[in-house]
Amino acid sequence: MLFRRIDADRLWASARSASLVWLSLALAVYFVNVLISIWRWRLLLGTQAVQVPSRTLLASFLVALFFNNFLPSNIGGDVIRIRDTARPAGSKTLATIVVLSDRVIGLMGLGLVAALGATVAASAARSAPMPIWPTWLWAGFLAATALSAPAVLAPNGVGRLLQPLTVFHPEWVGDRIESVTAALERFRDSPSTLVTCFGGAVLVQITIVAFYVAVAYALRIPVASSDLAVVVPISFIVQMLPVSMNGFGVREATFTFYFTRLGLPIESALLVSLVATALVMLFSLTGAAVYVARGRH
């Protein structure tokens, strides 16, 4: 529907005229984003006394990135990460808890960056109407924090909530509940590591916003960094909804909704969204190379 309202030839011409220097910088920033993500993952594994070399985690993360971008699902990459760390963890359940915890902490970092970005954008806009009010984002962030905190602060409570599941297979499910509870207790006993991981999650979101800022500069699109700090995290949340293939369409619709309310044309929204996605897919091809190399070994 969006492409019916634009001149596709002009859109392609604008993309071809993008600054290669800024696009290269965007790719470099994205690589930094990946390195921070791996560092955060390793910290969480370390909390569970699971030691995996950074090189192994890098290879796994790149393969996961490839699967996320080229398979019709956003969970394929998580399956790869769980599989690759299950053996050193000695448990698929433990590896799964670490990856899910990484996801939850990442979402909280995403929410905080979006709320801060909206607050800055609202201050700059003054009397102009905001596409998304900061209050909504702060409320969402605080609600997510309130819902997540009990899992770490009261792990036994999580175990009790899961206890009814033992009716399906008492011994198997019971063992898994014990593993989950033990993992959450280890997280509870390492608050400084969790705080550091959350800081890493915020840094990950800041670098991904910086990546989009570089893309916007490459395309000469006048959008403020604070506005990108709002729309980029929101677009990631929208992409998690099972209503599209890897976020295509809903991501562009999110950018279009926000950009048009800033007074920017639809073409600008589509350019930023599509060019950024193309760069991420290009980068994720390194994961395909790693995957093929694994197969040969």
Model pLDDT, residue 144? 86
Residue with tokens 């698929």: 92
User: In Å, what is the CA distance from 241 to each residue of 73, 77, 253?
Assistant: 10, 16, 13
Return all residues near 55 (Cβ < 8 A) that are at least 6 apart.
Answer: none
Is residue 107 a part of any domain in this protein?
yes
- What domain range is 239 assigned to? 2-288
Stretches in the chain below the pLDDT threshold 70: 1-9, 72-74, 125-131, 242-244, 246-247, 295-297
Is residue 171 a part of any domain in this protein?
yes
Is residue 118 a part of any domain in this protein?
yes
Give me the half-sphere count of Cα atoms (radius 13 Å) on the Cβ side of residue 96. 11
Model pLDDT, residue 125? 61
Give ∠ CA 99-100-104 in degrees, rounded to 5. 120
Is residue 295 a part of any domain in this protein?
no
Q: How many whole angstroms separate alpha carbon 173 and alpha carbon 46?
A: 25
Is residue 297 a part of any domain in this protein?
no
* pTM: predicted TM-score of the whole model, two decimal places: 0.90
Return all residues near 79 (Cβ < 8 A) that are at least 6 apart.
Answer: 67
Model pLDDT, residue 294? 77
Is residue 294 a part of any domain in this protein?
no
Identify whether the C-beta of residue 209 lies closer than 8 Å to the C-beta of residue 32. no
Model pLDDT, residue 13? 74
Render the chain in DSSP notation, one character per residue.
-GGGGS-HHHHHHHHHTS-HHHHHHHHHHHHHHHHHHHHHHHHHHHHTT----HHHHHHHHHHHHHHHHHSS-SSHHHHHHHHHHHHHHT-HHHHHHHHHHHHHHHHHHHHHHHHHHHHHHHHHHTTSPPSS-HHHHHHHHHHHHHHHHHHHH-HHHHHHHHGGGGGT-HHHHHHHHHHHHHHHHHHHT-HHHHHHHHHHHHHHHHHHHHHHHHHHHHTT----HHHHHHHHHHHHHHHTSTTSSTTTTHHHHHHHHHHHHTT--HHHHHHHHHHHHHHHHHHHHHHHHHHHHHHH-
Q: How many whole angstroms separate alpha carbon 236 and alpha carbon 250?
A: 10
Is residue 152 a part of any domain in this protein?
yes
Is residue 115 a part of any domain in this protein?
yes
Identify whether the C-beta of residue 101 lies closer than 8 Å to the C-beta of residue 85. no
Q: How many whole angstroms separate alpha carbon 219 and alpha carbon 114?
A: 23
Model pLDDT, residue 127? 45
Count of domains forming the chain: 1
